[in-house]
Amino acid sequence: MEEDYIMDEQTFTVRTVKAPVKNKEGNITGVIGIFEDITNLRQMEKVVQESEKKYRLLIENQTDLVSRDDT
């Protein structure tokens, strides 16, 4: 699960994994959780998406012939 976490007025995006902790009888006695800060990953994804959007608009609006020789 991904969720926002706020600390000291800053918002972080974290990926969390949570699981119940059970005793010998199988009763839930607590919860254990692990989280990973993926804020930078999400920010980089946004930058890439914006770049792709700009490139796509450039290509779609291209009126001149563009040729590429890969030999």
Q: What is the pLDDT of residues 12-60, one digit of tens each?
A: 999 999 999 999 999 999 999 998 999 999 999 999 999 999 999 988 8
Helix, strand or coil, per DSSP, at residue 40: helix
What does pTM read for this prediction? 0.59
Give pLDDT, residue 10: 92
Using alpha carbons, select from 14, 17, 13, 15 the residue that is nearest to residue 33. 17
